[in-house]
């Protein structure tokens, strides 16, 4: 007989930002500052813009190990390098809120990934 398990739950979201926190591609303190800036920006976007569609998660390593802090935006398939606090703010403003990736800091894109359209909450009401 299968063991009864509790199904995990996750907040509704449309994008997830992954930040490398391991410390080889950038110092841990820089990675922490980047993650904090992203979270702060996403929180402000929720409060001020009503945008509630991106999660930010720290990861041990995303397999590149150079040019950090590194950030990946999913499912857009966009990889950013050297994301300091200023670049993190731009990613939130331009990419997450505005829908336009920050070209200056992209070092890889997954071909075929498509940017999701902005969600119009009124349309779904």
Positions in the binding site for ligand FES (CB under 6 A) = 20, 22, 24-25, 61-65, 68, 70
Q: Which phi and psi (to 5°) does residue 36 adopt? A: -60, -45
Of residues 23 and 85, the one with the C-beta less far from ligand FES: 23
Of residues 52 and 67, the one with the C-beta less far from ligand FES: 67
Q: Determine how many CB atoms are found less than 10 A away from the CB of residue 43.
A: 12
Q: Where are the alpha helices (DSSP H) in 15-116?
A: 28-44, 85-90
Of residues 55 and 61, the one with the C-beta less far from ligand FES: 61
- DSSP three-state, residue 80: strand
Q: Quote the least distance from Cβ 86 to ligand FES, whole Å.
A: 19
Q: Quote the least distance from Cβ 23 to ligand FES, whole Å.
A: 7
Q: Are 73 and 83 in contact (CB under 8 A)?
A: no
Q: Quote the least distance from Cβ 51 to ligand FES, whole Å.
A: 27
Tokens of 103: 């070209």
Instruction: Please name the residue that has the structure tokens 């992954």.
Output: 18
Q: Quote the least distance from Cβ 17 to ligand FES, whole Å.
A: 14
């Amino acid at each position: 007989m299968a063991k009864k398990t509790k199904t995990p739950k996750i907040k509704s979201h449309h994008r997830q930002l992954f930040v490398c926190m391991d410390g080889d591609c950038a110092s841990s303190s820089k990675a922490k500052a980047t993650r904090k800036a992203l979270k702060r920006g996403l929180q402000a976007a929720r409060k001020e813009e009503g945008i509630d569609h991106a999660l930010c998660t720290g990861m041990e390593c995303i397999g590149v190990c150079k040019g950090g802090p590194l950030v990946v935006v999913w499912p857009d398939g966009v990889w950013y390098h050297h994301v300091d606090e200023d670049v993190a703010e731009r990613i939130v403003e331009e990419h997450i809120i505005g829908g336009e990736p920050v070209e200056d800091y992209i070092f890889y894109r997954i071909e075929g990934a498509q940017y999701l359209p902005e969600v119009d909450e009124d349309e779904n009401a």
